[in-house]
Amino acid sequence: MLTIWGRATSSNVQAVMWTIAELGLAHRRHDLGLAFGGLDTPEYRAMNPNGLVPTVRDGDGAPMWESAAVVRYLAARYGDDGFWPRDPAARVQLDMWAEWIKTTFAPHFGGRVFWPLMGRPAGGPEAFAAAVAGLKPLAKMLSERIGRGPYLAGETLSFADMIIGAQLYRYYTLDFDRADTPELDAYYRRLCERPAYREHAMVSYDSLRIST
Ligand SMILES: N[C@@H](CCC(=O)N[C@@H](CS)C(=O)NCC(=O)O)C(=O)O
């Protein structure tokens, strides 16, 4: 049994929960973070010294944090060779894009586009316009890599789709000027057809909006 601590509105929790659902793993999730609180207790900090979500335990195993590391653990432990290629040379071709979305796309999109649109500006209108313009080449890069898909690895859904796809619900449902990326658009539409994605990644972010 997996135990997950973290609110369903966190995109990092969503990547983990979507993975768990795709792999069909038994689990229970506890809401923690933001309005739920609970991140500053000594018990929680002993599991996750960052005081962030998600934190995950697999049975009596040691606590794990960093959502992408948790997705990789779940994929390696419970996924088949399609979901987690055992061949390092095949896996790195997916993993480099998973890493890229966490370290390049997500900080840009999250910090400079998503949160400003939620009412937490990271500069004035010019900074926002520059952020939107700067996101376009990143989205185009990803779109070209996905190509005809249907998934990053081709025919098979993999751990990398979990880490990438968890960013896309927000990307596609916010109102801003997106790049022209037909392949990425089609990829997102395919993810939306998956029940596990709909349940765990397409989660309203309305509660994150700061009202002024
Ligand atoms: N790199 C970490 C980031 C964790 C993180 O920033 N979590 C956010 C939610 S997405 C958080 O805990 N925010 C505080 C809160 O929810 O109260 C990961 O991928 O797990």
Q: How far apart (Å, rounded) are the C-alpha atoms in residues 124 and 128?
A: 6
Pairing of strands 27-30, 55-58: unpaired
Q: Which atom from ligand 1 is nearest to the alpha carbon of 65?
A: 20
Cα 64–Cα 61–Cα 71 angle in degrees, nearest 5: 40
Q: Which atom from ligand 1 is nearest to the alpha carbon of 11?
A: 10
Question: Residues with beta carbon inside 6 Å of ligand 1?
Answer: 7, 10-12, 33-34, 39, 52-54, 66-68
Residue nearest to atom 15 of ligand 1 (CA): 33
Looking at residue 101, its pLDDT comes to: 98
Q: Which atom from ligand 1 is nearest to the alpha carbon of 34?
A: 17
Looking at residue 212, its pLDDT comes to: 63
Residue nearest to atom 10 of ligand 1 (CA): 10
* Domains defined for the chain, CATH in brackets: 2-78 (3.40.30.10), 88-203 (1.20.1050.10)
Other beta carbons less than 10 A from residue 70's beta carbon: 24
Q: What is the pTM of this model?
A: 0.97
Q: What are the 10-residue block averages of pLDDT along the chain, 212 residues in total? A: 98 98 98 98 98 98 98 98 98 98 98 96 93 98 96 98 98 98 98 98 96 70
DSSP SS3 for 58: strand
Residue nearest to atom 18 of ligand 1 (CA): 66
Nearest to 54 by CA among 11, 118, 108, 24: 11
Looking at residue 160, its pLDDT comes to: 98
